Structure 1
Amino acid sequence: MTKRAWWLVVLNVVLPGSAQVLAGSRRLGRFGLGATLMLILLAVIVGGSYLLWPGTVLTVFTSTIGLWAAAAALIFYGIVWVVLTLDTLRLARLLRAAPGARPIIAGFATVLMIIVGGGAGYGAYVATTASGFLADVFVAGPSEPPVDGRYNIMLLGGDAGADRDGLRPDSISVVSIEASTGKATIIGLPRNLEDVPFPADSPLAPIYPEGYGALKGCYVSACMLNSLYTEVQLKSPEMYPNAEAEGSLPGIEGMRDAARGITGLTIQYYVLIDMEGFSDLIDALGGVDINVEQRLPIGGDEQFNNVDGWVEAGQQHMDGYTALWFGRARHGTSDYDRMARQRVLQEAILSQFNPANVLTKFQDVANAGAQVVKTDVPQGMLGYFSILAGKTKELPIGTVDIVPENGIDPENPDYSAITALIDAALVPTPEPTPAP
């Protein structure tokens, strides 16, 4: 009877339902076997489909319907496993097994039941939470094809600290990605660019025909690139009446038109990352590792009065508060240094998003992420962009910085020189063929 009990418990693990077919209710056993074989068949189909069409599979499992279907399947199989395990313990007749073997057999079966059943329940929880998170962050809408073979995404790092009135995009860049290869180029746009041009179809073009604030000033105190968000958002949101319905904001659309005018590129999507919200996200991930090149003040003024603390130089494991000030600190460094630090911070966060720390703290990460990121990337594009991101990680990332070191004066910029820099980076001049 001891051997019989062990065989039944092992069979329930190897092929759920088989124990009932051999020694119990064959009806329940056939149901369990059918469910088990269906699960195996689904796993084979999904695995095979992923090998052939990975983008399609990822699209399905990043959609609301796909995630809820996965959650329902996990709950169903978790319940089936628990029922079959409890019935297997009944069939094992442990009271007739050797006394010393009874607790071992029962404990083995119970532990497996908790692991599998609990794992299925947690997987269902993650799937439903992920569905809500993706629905909060991404929009419902059709996917767009690349333009001239590229996807161009405007990335805004917004600083909405407690000492600020509203949000200001202090970190502005355009990420241009080759759709065929995944090769990415980051175009850094300084926040203090002046006389920003607008495309002819922009509602801002008639107001600023010679560039933002070039003729008669603007409606805010400083007519720089990052001031445009505040002006449009607070002073003239009626310029972009459809912005919110399309998952954006008037201020963001004004910034998008400015980015189009500066780069000459079609900007299909935007991603706004709230630097203040980074604090909660970093804490949810357990901190972030950054190599600090120079000591930075937390708070204070240009003379370092009333400094609340310091971000010390060297390799640091930062909590959210410290990392936020690493990205925000401005005294003792230039705007261009701060742009570079914010990029380091963003890249460090992305590099530390891995299955281990995300799954173990998924609820905290999802809650923080929904407050940090705003975008108009359609949820249906996530599968495709996941595959594209995999290609991007295998290639070096190019950069184009619109800074004085590259001959650009932000106060009197030569926009033809800027577009020439961008064109040279995106379409490099072929190297001459050596003479025979």
Structure 2
Amino acid sequence: MSVLTPPRESAASRRRAPAIEALPLRNPDTASSAVMGRRAWWLVGMNLLVPGSAQILAGNRRLGRFALGATLALWVGVALAVAASLLWRPVLYTLATNWFALTAAQVLLIGYAVLWVVLAFDTLRLVRLVKLRPLARIGVAMLACALMVATSGSALYAAHVSGVARDTLGSIFGAGGPPVEPTDGYYNILLLGADPDKGRDSMRPDSISVVSVNATSGAVTIIGLPRDTVGVPFAEGPMNDLFPDGYQGSECQTAHCGLNEIFTEVEVLRDGTELYPDAEEQGSTPGIEAMKDAAAGYLGIAVPYYVLIDMHGFAALVDALGGVDITVKERLPMGALSKNADGSLSGVKGWIEKGRQHMDGETAQWYARSRYTTSDWDRMKRQRQLQAAILKQFTPENVLARFQEVAAAGEHLVQTDIPQSMLPYLAQLAVESKKHKITRIELTPEGGVDPDNPDVAFVRELVDEALHPPSPSPTP
């Protein structure tokens, strides 16, 4: 019959054990309130600075070793994140926009929150509050509880933010396909601002622009397309087959054959699913695909992606960002307006006055939409002005401080077919873009383009010169 014997301890372990047992933190003079008080403050402080150290020196060493290992792992993770933010930003952006990474972060942070609660209560047990003087007893207990709330609460909040980020990214960005390569050095994205008012036959885009992002430098060019532009040509595809001479002529079934009416043409007046059978599978709609083809054909560039912004949700985003600062050049009316026969306005519920203003969401929305006292070209300028102001507000500090509000607004505001796999790269470009001034091209009479009879060749040349300026001649 064999006899089980405990594993032998090393000589070093046998030497350390008596030394640790002799420490006042592990075996204090419990009869001395002063000694117990100092010990209590030390244990609570150690539990905050190096979680697990209090248990190693005064309590359950197994728990202490586990907590200390978890603490060291957390510090290493934080150090790697800081290093990545300085040296390997693409890696950091990849993790910050990856579903599995965000889920893993959420689980780990919840685990740390639970661990710190366990350590806090275990530290209070080790303190032996009954051995302290009354005031010290209250002070130590209050400090330990406050530190527990601060540490565990911060971990739980960070876990919540990770979950919100994961869910928001999943609701806005589809799985999509693999990232596409830039075309001629640019990613071109169709940006549509839609106003789904009741009574409309479809969600006609009122604000239309193409955002071109340089794939190397991150420099941004915004090309504004007037919504009433007529005769717009299409890129190769079903709409070009229907309108080989541009969106005009007897085949056009809308009132004015304007650019923004293409959406209605495809979504309401024709069988859009027959024209673009794969649109829904790609996270788009037939109307949006037709608008992409129109923008690509008109500008002479590939437009693989779109972003659709609901103008009603636009106000929520501005509020979530804390408002925007705008210099108003002309007094503008607010409200669901109509123009009377005598030229007066009805439905005015307020005015946006001239001068520098900090606008909330509702005011910014009317600033972008107001058109009865100004031209469509003026409205386009205001919309670009707001775009620039919102981009300015999208700083990491502001977004993190208001993350939940921004995420909630974005979830109901934005639709896009940009795949999640492109987010790390686009996030890196977004950071780089802040180093450059935004270039704006307005295809309006002021920009040398007549929307009623556009010179397509001139427009394409204008866009090409903006995106690919000639290299400066070498100095002789």
1:319 equivalenced with 2:360 (yes/no): yes
How do 1:277-292 residues align onto structure 2 when only pairs under 5 Å count?
277-292=313-328
Q: Given the alignment, which residue of 375, 380, 386 partners 1:334?
A: 375
Q: Which amino acid aligns with 1:305?
A: L
Deviation, structure 1 residue 151: 1.0
Residues 1:431 and 2:458 are matched in the alignment: no
Q: Of 162, 185, 201, which residue of structure 1 is paired with 2:221?
A: 185
| Residue pair 2:306, 2:416 contacting (<8 A) in 1 also | yes
**Letter aligned with residue 83 of structure 1:** V
Q: Which whole-Å CA distance do the structure 2 matches of 1:66 and 1:262 have between them?
A: 41
Counterpart pick for 2:256 among 206, 222, 226: 222
C-alpha displacement of 1:355: 5.0
Compared with structure 1, are the counterparts of its residues 356 and 431 closer, same or farther at alpha carbon in structure 2 (3 Å cutoff)? closer
Task: Give the superposition deviation at 1:266.
Answer: 1.0
Is the counterpart of residue 61 in structure 1 residue 96 in structure 2? Answer: yes
For 2:72, which of 31, 37, 46 is the aligned residue? 37
1:412 to 453, 462, 469: 453
For residue 151 of structure 1, what is the aligned residue in structure 2? 187
Alignment partner, residue 203 of structure 1: 238
- The aligned residue for residue 265 of structure 2 is 231
Displacement after TM superposition at 1:413 (Å): 0.8
Query: Residues 309 and 50 of structure 1: is their aligned pair in 2 closer, same or farther, counting only changes over 3 Å?
Result: closer
| Aligned counterparts of 1:242 and 1:258: Cα–Cα separation in 2 | 18
Alignment-mate amino acid for residue 67 of structure 1: L
- TM normalised by structure 1 equals 0.94
Q: 1:365 to 1:162 in 2, by over 3 A?
A: farther
> Quick one: which of 41, 45, 48 aligns to 1:10?
45
> What is the TM-score of this pair, normalised by structure 2?
0.87
Q: Which amino acid in 2 is paired with 1:317?
A: H
Q: Structure 2 stretches of 5 or more lacking a match?
A: 1-35
Which residue of structure 1 aligns with residue 197 of structure 2? 161
Could you tell me whether the CA contact under 8 Å between 1:217 and 1:223 is conserved in 2? no
Who is 2:413 aligned against?
A: 372
Letter in 2 for 1:227: E
Assess if the C-alpha contact under 8 Å between 2:191 and 2:306 holds in 1: yes
1:346 partnered with 2:387 = yes
**CA spacing shift, 1:49–1:352, aligned 2, 3 Å:** closer
Q: 1-side partners of 2:314 and 2:447: how far apart? A: 31
Percent identical residues: 50
Contact 2:202/2:268 (CA < 8 Å) preserved in 1? no
Q: Deviations over 1:279-331 (max 9, x none)?
A: 22233344333221111112333423212322222222333222211111111
Q: Structure 1, residues 67-106: CA drift from partner, whole Å, max 9, x if none?
A: 1111111100011011101111110112212332222222
Taking a change above 3 Å as real, the CA distance of residues 248 and 353 of structure 1, as seen in their structure-2 partners, is same
Give unmatched runs, 5+ long, in structure 1. none
Tell me the equivalent position of 1:249. 285
Greater Cα offset, 277-286 or 306-315: 277-286
Counterpart of 2:164 (choices 101, 125, 129) is: 129
Asked if 1:301 is matched to 2:338, the reply is: yes
User: Partner of 1:37: helix, strand, or coil?
Assistant: helix
Equivalent residues of 2:202, 2:267 under 8 A apart: no
Query: Secondary structure at 1:424's aligned position in 2?
Result: helix
Are 1:98 and 2:139 counterparts? no
**Which region of structure 1 is more displaced relative to structure 2, 150-159 or 364-373?**
364-373
Query: 2:7 corresponds to which residue?
Result: none
CA distance in 2, matches of 1:196, 1:233: 18
- Counterpart CA distance in 2 for 1:429 and 1:346 is 28
* Alignment deviations for residues 137-186 of structure 1 (CA, whole Å, 9 cap, x no partner): 01113112212221111111112234644322121111112211112211
Q: Deviations over 1:250-272 (max 9, x none)?
A: 11100000011011111121111
Matches within 5 A, 1:23-34: 23-34=58-69
Matching residue of 2:436: 395
Compared CA separation, residues 40 and 350, structure 1 to 2 (3 A) = same
Letter in 2 for 1:278: F
Q: CA deviation at 1:360?
A: 5.1
Q: How many residues align?
A: 433
After superposition, the CA RMSD in angstroms is 1.8
- Counterparts of 1:147 and 1:283, CA distance in 2: 35
- Structure 1 residue 395 displacement after superposition: 1.0
Listed one character per residue, the Cα deviations across residues 16-72 of structure 1 (whole Å, up to 9, x for unaligned) are: 111011111111111111211121222233333444421122112212111111111
- SS of the residue 1:273 aligns to: strand
Pair 1:160–1:344, CA change in 2 (3 A): farther
Secondary structure in structure 2 of the residue aligned to 1:226: helix
Structure number, greater radius of gyration: 2
CA distance in 2, matches of 1:403, 1:427: 21
Alignment of 1:382 with 2:423, yes or no, is yes
Which amino acid in 2 is paired with 1:85? A
Partner Cα distance (2:288, 2:388) in 1: 22
Does the 8 A contact of 1:143 with 1:378 survive in 2?
yes
